[in-house]
Structure 1
Amino acid sequence: MNVKSVEKQEKSTVELVIEIGAEEFEAAVQKVYLKQRGKIMVPGFRKGKAPRKIIEGMYGSGVFYEDAINELYPQAYADAVEQEKLDAVAWPKVEVVSVGKEGLTFKAVVTVRPEVKLGEYKGLTAEKPEVTVTDEDIDNELKPYINRATRMVTVEREAQNGDTVVIDFEGFLNGEPFEGGKGEGHSLELGSNSFVPGFEEQLVGTKAGDEKDLDITFPEDYHADLAGKAVVFKVKVHEVKEKQLPTVDDEFAKDVSEFDTLADFKKDLADKLTERREHQAQHDFEAAVLEQVMSNMEVEIPDAMVEFEADNLVNDMAQRIQAQGIPFEQYMAMTGMTMDIMREQAKAAALERVRRDLALNAVVAAENIQVSDEELEEEYKKLAEQYHMELDKVKQAVAADDICKELSLKKAEQVIYDSAKVGKAPAKKKTTKKKAEDAEAGEAAEGEEKPKKRRTTKKKESEEGEEKPAEEKTEE
């Protein structure tokens, strides 16, 4: 492999021209031939026994070139990037310049990490909400425990909203039962709005043993086969149940928690809620500070960098879904998604991740942040404990450079957060796009309300050399 030329281009790209010699290219072509000859049928030869020259005579001398190129270029590209010490941040755009017996020459346009000009990143100010917990908040924290301790008790009376009725039902369209319209022994909470509109309301006032026909018209946005259709549900009520709430006292606290009194249980709930809200408030404060750092920096982010990160997000999602036993293709079919749609939807999150990465890496450089051998070793030990693996195996699985990078970014965050202050947040800076929109809006307003000023502006433009129609003045 030989890097023939390196040329810096616009938008943080570098063009590499890479050469692979005749001998190395020939070896790759021969490797491809040996791999593929068993799949090629040639008259007069047993399958897999046709000489390479015969196959090339039939299909052309370059029959194996494409696969040979694919065999060679990834490693050649990686070696060239390492040799030229380029910080590549996206997949390259590759173009073959020449290929033949003399070897392979290809061009790779590499997107590299853009230059970042940091603005203020220390001593920033952001708002941090004061954390409070009210009695109502504590009551809301109690609700899940009360719901779990609530019993359903059969009652001999007419059903009311909030009751649960146990029913059999079957739906009929034009006198014929329709698919999916039948259920037996179904428990339905009245007022839950879990059935089609009008169904639950008509069961209020029924009691065990009642049979009733419910006239229902499906909504227009319902399933296509039933949208807007009038149907009849034949319902039989087997049982009416009401909720029997527990008495919320010390005995209740003993049953649902580790505490002996309700007061202690409530205090624990309040403490935990306070801790969660304080954690969220700190997270929001830090996010606001980091957003200021990102807004203060000057950088031109390459589109390819965002697209690369969007691909990573989609791939991560695919792995998580498949880890749950759902093939990703099946998931996309179920949700009506495509890879293109998913990538497009991931771009906003990808852009934020790229902005964060660029800002923090710039702080790492500005602060000359280093990771010591002791810190690296400690992180390896934490990973080994977290994943229940032997330390040596963790070191084999996770590159030291990756850990050092992550630790350095965390240190950069700490530099930003430790110097930040709680107070009134500064006014948000307008983005370039927003400024342009405001300018256009201002021009439109001037055009509607202040025609004289608009004429003066055009006159000024004319004086600076722009051509102005003679009838412009009388246009108003």
Structure 2
Amino acid sequence: MKISVRNLEPTKVRLTVTVDPEEFEPYLDAARKEIAKQVNIPGFRKGHVPGKIIDQRIGFASVAGEAINNGIGELYSKAAEQKELRPMDQPKLDVKEVPASAKDETRLKFTAEVEVRPKFDLPELDGMRIEVAKPAVTDEDVNARLENLRQRFGTLVGVDRPATKGDFANIDLAAEIDGESVDSQEGVSYELGSGTMLDGLDEALDGLSAGEETTFESTLEGGDHAGQKAQVKVKVNSVKAEELPELNDDFAQEASEFDTLDELKADVRKQCERDAEGQQATAARDAFIAKLQESVEIPVPKGIKQNLVAEHLKSMTPDPESATDEQKKEAEESAEKELRDQITLDALAEKLDVQVSQSDVMNFLASIAQQYGMEPNRFISAIIQNGQIGSAVQEVGRSKGMLAGMRAVVFVDPEGNELDLSQFLGEDEAEAEAQESVEAASAAAAVADEIASEDKAENAE
């Protein structure tokens, strides 16, 4: 097999592959055997028709077409591996030349354009020291958590005044487009200022009392008319304010197992300190990846970036086509960082010769299924059927490589004291399995959401 590689972009190449007849022949033979199982030719048993007869009766062009369809993917993979390329997307294949007959000396020739992982040298991990800020817990952190606890034990009390931010209003909604009713809801409880429903609703409700109504324009976010402008009438049925309990010993006894407020505060501070340690581990991870990227230029594949930007915009706005410049910039920056981090971790896993076993992947997927409350076998089958098992393998490899790399370097605080992150990184691979699952969960989350949506639709029927 003759292979030439042309660099089209820093992260895109075109392979031109010319296949020798003896390499193509096994695919032709396999195609003949497959065709022989499907045709009836007088004088021969089905499935036992000689290859020459298949060429004569069915036509060599059909045989060659079947062989190419079934074999070009494997031939491309062999060519990419031989040239030590690391494809990041599916290739665009184009067959250029095909032999016209079994005796034709014309060789199969095709091209493959594909975006690949750029080549770069990562710094050595041995002796690397990375500074990470100390976790700090302030009185404000403790008070904020106590305030959240108070809100959990708060009660709603009806008030005879206009609604304002933080109040809960019971409302009726009715949407019209060109004077025609398209949607309506009654008795909806809504917290002013939460921004969880229609754009403009908070402004419309602010200052309204029970029994009053108003109309505002908004873009519908669901249903058959999602994305369309509508005139929305909102009526306030009642207004309630949240009444919070006082912070005292009685509250401590009601909200916890402690007898005094001081004991509750001390426990809340410990919780904040544990969270701060977790945040420090996250900061260490980010600092580690940034350190690897510090002295290298990592271009990102344009096509993959474009698709990823589109995905980010879909999650940011119901109408990506009308996204603001700020949203587009944020989506682009997020996509670039995500791709650079993935590329860096892929290179690190390769540098450290990380091996991903079948049990690694199955345990990872089973843990994700458990997080989503799904039956593991069904979830894993869905991953395989959707062709995403490769992505799961890649994510587990990235996570294992990252954890192994972080265990190989030294993290220090601003004073130069070494940090012990073993509770987050594990002392070895076995102890880090749970962390790997958390780090790589996003790879399977989309599939889990899809399965959950399917189940919801089935139950609705």
Query: Shorter-chain TM-score category?
Result: 0.5 to 0.7
CA contact (8 A) 1:96 1:106 kept: yes
Once the two structures are superposed, what CA deviation does each residue of 1:143-171 show, in whole Å capped at 9, x if it has no partner? 3322221112345x445535545455768
**Percent pairwise identity:** 19
Q: Kindly tell me: are residues 19 and 148 of structure 1, through their superposed partners in 2, closer, same or farther at Cα, counting changes over 3 Å? A: same
The one-letter code of the counterpart of 2:19 is: I
Show the counterpart of 2:109: 106
The one-letter code of the counterpart of 1:203 is: L
The 5-angstrom pairing of residues 277-288 of structure 1 reads 277-288=276-287
Show the counterpart of 1:471: none
CA contact (8 A) 1:19 1:106 kept: no
**CA displacement at 1:355 relative to structure 2:** 2.7
Show the counterpart of 1:437: none
In structure 2, distance between residues paired with 1:186 and 1:411: 51
Show the counterpart of 1:200: 205
1:185 aligns to 2:187 (yes or no): yes
CA contact (8 A) 1:16 1:108 kept: yes
Residues matched between the structures, number: 356
Q: Kindly tell me: are residues 118 and 244 of structure 1, through their superposed partners in 2, closer, same or farther at Cα, counting changes over 3 Å? A: closer
The one-letter code of the counterpart of 1:131 is: P
The 5-angstrom pairing of residues 108-257 of structure 1 reads 116-119=120-123, 121-124=125-128, 126-154=130-158, 157-159=160-162, 161=164, 162-166=166-170, 178-180=181-183, 182-189=184-191, 196=201, 199-204=204-209, 211-212=211-212, 214=214, 216=215, 218=217, 225-226=229-230, 235=235, 237=237, 239-257=238-256
**SS of the residue 1:106 aligns to:** strand
In structure 2, distance between residues paired with 1:376 and 1:349: 25
**CA displacement at 1:213 relative to structure 2:** 5.5
CA contact (8 A) 1:18 1:80 kept: no
In structure 2, distance between residues paired with 1:140 and 1:26: 71
Show the counterpart of 2:459: none
**CA displacement at 1:138 relative to structure 2:** 1.2
Q: Kindly tell me: are residues 121 and 255 of structure 1, through their superposed partners in 2, closer, same or farther at Cα, counting changes over 3 Å? A: same
Show the counterpart of 2:86: 89
Show the counterpart of 2:440: none
CA contact (8 A) 1:294 1:356 kept: no
**SS of the residue 1:296 aligns to:** coil
Show the counterpart of 1:414: 407
CA contact (8 A) 2:142 2:265 kept: yes
- 5+ residue gaps, structure 2: 41-53, 222-226, 322-327, 371-375, 381-388, 417-461
Show the counterpart of 2:434: none
**SS of the residue 1:62 aligns to:** helix
CA contact (8 A) 1:196 1:218 kept: no
Q: Kindly tell me: are residues 379 and 294 of structure 1, through their superposed partners in 2, closer, same or farther at Cα, counting changes over 3 Å? A: same
Show the counterpart of 1:19: 20
**CA displacement at 1:72 relative to structure 2:** 2.0
2:342 to 349, 353, 356: 353
Show the counterpart of 1:272: 271
In structure 1, distance between residues paired with 2:332 and 2:306: 6
The 5-angstrom pairing of residues 287-366 of structure 1 reads 287-297=286-296, 346=335, 348-359=337-348, 361-362=350-351, 364=352
In structure 2, distance between residues paired with 1:191 and 1:344: 29
**CA displacement at 1:276 relative to structure 2:** 1.9
In structure 1, distance between residues paired with 2:395 and 2:315: 31
Greater relative contact order (Cα < 8 A, sep 6+)? 1
TM-score, normalised via structure 1 length = 0.54
The one-letter code of the counterpart of 1:414 is: R
**CA displacement at 1:137 relative to structure 2:** 1.4
In structure 1, distance between residues paired with 2:154 and 2:146: 12
Q: Kindly tell me: are residues 53 and 280 of structure 1, through their superposed partners in 2, closer, same or farther at Cα, counting changes over 3 Å? A: same
- 5+ residue gaps, structure 1: 39-50, 319-329, 426-476
CA contact (8 A) 1:218 1:226 kept: yes
In structure 2, distance between residues paired with 1:343 and 1:187: 36
Show the counterpart of 1:74: 73
CA contact (8 A) 1:128 1:422 kept: yes
Show the counterpart of 1:62: 61
Show the counterpart of 1:30: 32
**CA displacement at 1:139 relative to structure 2:** 1.7
**CA displacement at 1:309 relative to structure 2:** 9.2
CA contact (8 A) 2:27 2:70 kept: no
In structure 2, distance between residues paired with 1:33 and 1:127: 64
Bigger CA radius of gyration: 1
In structure 1, distance between residues paired with 2:396 and 2:230: 57
Show the counterpart of 1:452: none
In structure 2, distance between residues paired with 1:421 and 1:178: 63
In structure 2, distance between residues paired with 1:409 and 1:201: 49
**CA displacement at 1:69 relative to structure 2:** 0.5
**CA displacement at 1:133 relative to structure 2:** 1.8
In structure 1, distance between residues paired with 2:172 and 2:116: 66
CA contact (8 A) 1:169 1:235 kept: yes
68-77 or 344-353, larger mean C-alpha shift: 344-353
Once the two structures are superposed, what CA deviation does each residue of 1:339-374 show, in whole Å capped at 9, x if it has no partner? xx9999845522331133325644x3xxxx788xxx
Once the two structures are superposed, what CA deviation does each residue of 1:400-454 show, in whole Å capped at 9, x if it has no partner? 9998886555333322x32x544499xxxxxxxxxxxxxxxxxxxxxxxxxxxxx
**CA displacement at 1:35 relative to structure 2:** 6.9
**SS of the residue 1:252 aligns to:** helix
In structure 2, distance between residues paired with 1:277 and 1:291: 21
TM-score, normalised via structure 2 length = 0.56
